[in-house]
Structure 1
Amino acid sequence: MGSGALGHGKGAHCQIIHMGFHYYRHIENALIAMYSKCGALDDALFIFESMQRRDFVTWNSMIAEYAQHGHAQEAISL
Structure 2
Amino acid sequence: MGVGHAKGRLRPARRFDSRGSIIIGALVTVFVLSLLGVALFDLAVVENRLILGSDCDVRAFYAAEAGLQVAYKNVNTWFP
- Shared fold (TM-score, shorter chain, > 0.5): no
TM-score, L = length of structure 2: 0.22
TM-score, L = length of structure 1: 0.23
